[in-house]
Structure formats: structure tokens, C-alpha cells
Amino acid sequence: MPMFFGSLKQLRHLYLSDTCFGGQIPPQLGNLSNLNYLTITCLRTALELRSDDLRWIPGLASLKHLNMDYVNLSKASSDDHWLLHVNKLSYLTELHLTNSLLQGSLTLSFTNSTHLSFLDLSGNLFEALVLNPFVKLDSLVTLNLNLNKFKGSIPDALANLTSLQQLDLSANGLGGPIPDIFVKMTSLHTLNLGSNINLVGGLPKSLGGLCQLKTLDLSENSMSGGISEFVDGLSKCANTSLEVLYLQNNNLTGSLPDSLGHLKSLTNIKLGGNKMHGHIPMSLGRLSRLEELEINGNSWEGAVSEAHFATLKNLKRLSIFPPSSKNSFYGKLPSSLQNCSNLRSIDLGENNFSAELPKWIGKNLASLGILRLRSNSFRGGIPQEFCNLSSLRILDLAHNELSGAIPHCFGNLSSMIMVAPVNQFSVNTSSISEQIVYVDDVTLRVIKGRELEYDKNLRFLVSIDLSRNHLSGAIPMKLTNLLGLSILNLSANSITGKIPEKIGSLRRLESLDLSRNQLSGEIPSSISDLTSLNHLNLSYNELVGRIPSLESTATLEDPSIYEGNSKLCGMPLSLECQDNETHDHDPNHVNEDIEEDEEGFELKWFFVSMAVGFVVGYFGLLGTLWIKKGWRNACSMYLEGMVERYTTIVVRKSSPDCEEADRQMEEAILRDQEEREQLERNIRNRDANLQLRR
């Protein structure tokens, strides 16, 4: 960083965000006594910006806003020296030191910085949090300490931060019960204590009195007990503000209270991965602003009724699947779901829904990106209307009782045709946010023979899973249009016909499972073009011929992926291909055989047509001579003369005098021509006389 910045003593604002200077921050910056705003940040790690000593900081006597995110302060953080220097900035209101490698204990004792309202020290290496109960930070509104290494319990002294509106202690190692310290923190509207796996106990009673609370995140902890008391408390507020309620992946029990329907501002509810039970209250259907409802992994019971989704027109994500089939919903999908036209994701897998798949899914839910209905009891065919789901990128209908053919129009699913960038992190996704599937948390998938989890990094996952149904017919050729497809699983059906020849065009395919069907014919040679493939299963079909060579990986060299096909040969099977088998299944040889067959076919018809023409002409002439006696006599005389003359010529031709023989032949031909003309005249005269006699 240039040292001359320190000579600009009248400077009020210095904004160096992402300029990415390297090396040491020059201490000459301490000469800028009139500076109000200083921002020095760099996200690039190639050129590390650092400050080993912050003694220049107090020189910035007028500083109000200090942002040194991603600046290496590891050497300046020893013995809280950094805090001593910053504490001398009496006008400071905002301090941002995110990901600055600060470590040790954090003592919040800003005795001189009494105007401090915003403090962000997230992403550092602090291990202990100490609050001086005699030091009041009355102006502090936002305190962000997430992603550190804090241990122990949450300090009771936080109760003194009565002006606090945002408190984030998530993703640390805090433990024990949450202290009941929120009685005086009535201004709090965001509380995030999530991802502290050692936090236990129930929800503090005082949380129910935070009527200004908009976001509560206690997810990914080990908390227990019910939520009824908390919900009942908030429902008594004159104006409830709660919008986001994240309590997923704890050990919470009990049922959902009916008073949940009074929290009219709720937009996001996540209660998945707990041990809750009972019926889902009908009052849930009154939350008209709700956009996300995730209550999967609990032991709910009963049916999902029309009333549950009556007014949820803003719903974008729905996830309700149980921990086991013993605790599942049953009946038909409520038709009121079709009013939720903004739905991006539906996950109702592992339930006991039955009847046919409703056509309104394809007609009314055009924005749907994820449709997961696996492990239910749906029957009948897959509606053609599903082909209208132009935003669909994950389709999972596995393990149902579906029958009929796979719709050919699946090849027109436009979001599956799009090929995702290889480096998804290098693209600007904001312009296509409506087209990208909301895989922003966790989507359970079944692939490679086991259940895996795909987190938010796999934003471009494209998958079709129709396995374990009763589907029949051939694999539609148009499926090879889905160039963005990552996973295709059609196993355990009754699919017949051949594997599409253009299967190799699915270059993004990572998993292909066509096992346990009735597929026949050869494995297309284009399958060798699937260079991204790391899972393949073609076992238990009726495939024949040589196995095409594939890119060598351990999974693709496993003979079990081809077992159950007795007429397959070649590596990795032990059955070697015979020469005739190789020849028979060689595509070039097959083409040669076809060409030879075509040529033989044409030659055969040539001789047949010639024979037919000869027979027709021969018997036509004989018939005419049989009817006309004069023609018959004249023809007989003509033929006798011809035989006599040409016999004489042939005999003479064999003599050594060739020139004489040629002369005699020419004379014979001339005489023959004259006699033929005379014969024709005689025949015409005879016919004329016969006509006169009649």
C-alpha cells in the first residue's frame, strides 16, 4: 500500500475495498486525523494485506467507521493490544474486523468508544468471551461473533446490552442451557444461536415476550422440550413480528400448538429433524405470508387436508417427510396445493399418499424446480402435463406403483436441457435465480445404491429417478436431449427395447442405473462418451454382445454392474467374445451385411422380371401364330430359309479363306433382306384376298 496516503491530511473518506494491496499497512495512515471512514479489505488470498502493529490507529482521532475485513491481524492480537488501540477511538460507531485471524480472549470493554453501535468480529479464532458487567455498551445495536471458537456457556452479562437488536453467536462451541436473559432485551429482533451442538435444555421462557423478534435461529443444537410455551407467549403480543423460525435438527418434542396460526407474519418455518408428533394444526393454513414450510423428519400423523394450504399462495418450498413409514401422512394430495403457484420445491417423500398423480401439478405449478414424491403409493401413469414443468431440475418419483410408459415429452424439459457451467462459482447466478433450483439447504437423494446428501454447493444438480415402479415400454429417445442430466435412474421397472443409441450425448451424466429391466440388444458404443460417469448399473437385463470400453475407474470395472446378462461378453466379464460374436456385433460388419442383402435383393428381382417378360413375349407370339394360319406358314418358311443360309455361312466361315467367307455372308444377308420384304408383301396380299372372300 502506498505510504503517500498518509500525507493526505484533509482526507475524510478512504475507501480501498478490493484494491488488494499486499504487504504491511503503512503506519503513516495514522496521520489522517480528519478521516471519518476507512475501509481496507481484500478477499483475495494471493496478496495478503496485514498489520502487525495497530499503534497507528489512535491517530485517527475523528474516525467513525473502521472496516479492515480480511486483513491479517494475527500478530497484533496478542494480549488484547489491538483492542487497547481501537478503544481510544472515542467517535467510533462501526467496527468491522471479519476474518482477521484475531485470537485469544475477547473482552468487550470499550470504555472510551461509548458511541459504538455495530461490532462485527465474526470468522476469527476467539476462544473465550468476557463481558465486564460494569461496562455498559448502551449504544450497541448489532453484535456479530459467529464462526469463532467460543466455548463454555453464554455469558449472563449479555443481559446488560439492552439496546441490542441483532445478536449472532452461531457456529461456535457454546454449551449448556440458554440463560433466561432476554427479559430486558425488548428491542431484539434477530437472535441466532444456531450450530452450537452443545447447547441443551428448553427454550427460555423470556423468549416468548420478545414481541419485536423477527428472526429466531436455534437450529443444529441439542435442545429439548416443546415449543408451545414460546409460541403461546408470542401469540399474546398485540403485534407479533416473527418472520423466521428455525428450530430444525434438535431434540424438540411435543406438538405444534394451534396458536401458531396467530403468528401472521411468519414467512419461514423449519422444524425438521426433531421428535415432534401429533397432528398438524389447521391454523397453519392461515399463515398467508408463508414461503417455506419444512417440518420433515418428525412423527406427524393423520391426513393433510385442504385447509392446511387454503391461503398459502406465497409458498415456495414444502418439505414434509417422516423419519419412518410408521409415521406418515396418507390419502390424496390436497388439491388446494395447486393454488400455491409460486412453489419451487415439493418434498413429500416417504409418506403414504395414494391415488393417481394429479395433473394440476404440471398445469398450475410452472415454477416447480424440485418434485420429490418417492416412497409413496401413487399409481397410474405419469401425467403428460408434467412435461410443462419447464423449471424442473430434480424429479424423484421412485418407489411407487406407477405404470405405463415414460412420457416422450420429458425430452422437452427445458431446465434439464441447459448445460450448467463447469465452475458454478464463477457465474453470476443472480440473473438466473428463478431458474436455479432451491437446493439451498439439504436435499436427500438416492444415487449410487445409497442415500446421499447434496448441500447448497450443488446448485446445478439435474436428476430423474423413476426407479422401483411398474413402468413399461421403451426408453424415450428424446431423453437424450436432456444434456444437463447428472443422474438417470430407471432401475427395477419393466422397460423393454434398446438403450438409446445417442445415450453418449449426455456428457454430464454421473450416474446411470438401468438395472433390473427387460432391455435387449447391444450396449451402444456411444456410452464410451460418458466421460463424467462414475456409477453404472446395467445388470439383470437381456443385453447381448461386446461391452464397449469405458474410462477406467474402479466402479466401472466391477463385473457385477453387468451380471444377469448371459449374452454379454468382454471385459470386465470373464466371458470372452468369440470371433464370430465379435464379427456379428461389429457395427461395420452389420452395415456390410445390410448392403450385401440389398444388392442380392435387387439382382434377384432383375432376373425375375426378365423371366416374366420372356414368358409373356413368347406366349404372346405363339398365340398370334396359332390364330393366323397365313402368318404361321409364312413364318415357318422364313425360319427354314434362315437356318439353311446361316448353316452354309457357318460352314464356310470355318474355311481358311476368311475374306471369301465374309463376302458370302454379306450376299446372304442382302438376299435374306430381299426375301423378307417379298414375304411381307405376300402376306399382305393373302390377307387382302381372304378379306374379299369373306
pLDDT tens by residue, 128-185: 998 877 667 889 999 999 999 999 999 998 998 999 999 999 999 999 999 999 888 9
pLDDT band for position 679 (cuts 50, 70, 90):
low
Higher-confidence residue of 125 and 418: namely 125
**pLDDT recorded at residue 82:** 86
Q: Cβ distance 189 to 214 under 8 Å?
A: yes
Top-confidence range, 385-389, 589-593, 594-598: 385-389
Q: Which of 289-293, 311-315, 605-609 has the lowest mean pLDDT?
A: 605-609
pLDDT at 447 over 70: no
**pLDDT recorded at residue 648:** 46
Average pLDDT over residues 440-444: 41
Homologous superfamily of the 302-422+433-585 domain (CATH): Ribonuclease Inhibitor (3.80.10.10)
Mean pLDDT for the chain?
A: 82
Q: Cβ distance 192 to 214 under 8 Å?
A: no
**pLDDT recorded at residue 521:** 96
Set of cell numbers at residue 272: 425438521
Backbone angles phi, psi at 337, to 5 degrees: -65, -25
pLDDT band for position 585 (cuts 50, 70, 90):
very low
**What per-residue string of b and e applies to 417-429 under the rule 16 or more CB within 10 Å gives b?**
ebebeeeeeeeee
Average pLDDT over residues 35-62: 86
pLDDT over 90 percentage in the chain: 58
Question: Can you name the CATH fold of 150-299?
Answer: 3.80.10
**pLDDT recorded at residue 443:** 44
pLDDT at 597 over 50: no
What are the tens digits of pLDDT across the range 387-396?
Answer: 999 999 999 9
Higher-confidence residue of 601 and 660: namely 660
Q: Cβ distance 71 to 95 under 8 Å?
A: no
Type and span of the H or E element at 667:
helix 658-693
Number of neighbours of residue 3 by Cβ within 10 angstroms: 10
pTM, to two decimals: 0.76
Number of neighbours of residue 282 by Cβ within 10 angstroms: 14
Q: Which residue has the cell 495497530?
A: 54
Closest CA to 467 of 443, 491, 488: 491
Q: Which of 189-193, 245-249, 288-292, 612-616 has the lowest mean pLDDT?
A: 612-616
**pLDDT recorded at residue 675:** 66
Average pLDDT over residues 338-355: 93
Residues 6+ apart with CB under 8 A from 660: 652
Residue 360: exposure state from Cβ atoms within 10 A (0-12, 13-18, ≥19):
middle
Number of neighbours of residue 339 by Cβ within 10 angstroms: 19
Q: Whole-angstrom Cα distance, residue 561 to residue 564?
A: 9
pLDDT band for position 670 (cuts 50, 70, 90):
low
**pLDDT recorded at residue 628:** 55
pLDDT at 118 over 90: yes
pLDDT at 619 over 70: no
Q: CA separation (Å) from 625 to 180, 466, 612, 644?
A: 127, 78, 20, 22
**pLDDT recorded at residue 36:** 96
pLDDT at 437 over 80: no
Set of cell numbers at residue 599: 444388392
DSSP at 184: S
pLDDT band for position 5 (cuts 50, 70, 90):
confident
Q: CA separation (Å) from 385 to 175, 467, 472?
A: 51, 20, 19
Average pLDDT over residues 60-68: 95
Q: Whole-angstrom Cα distance, residue 227 to residue 202?
A: 8
**pLDDT recorded at residue 3:** 79
**pLDDT recorded at residue 634:** 56
pLDDT at 594 over 50: no
Average pLDDT over residues 116-120: 95
Q: Whole-angstrom Cα distance, residue 237 to residue 212?
A: 9
Q: Which of 188-202, 447-461, 546-560, 570-584 has the lowest mean pLDDT?
A: 447-461
pLDDT at 596 over 80: no
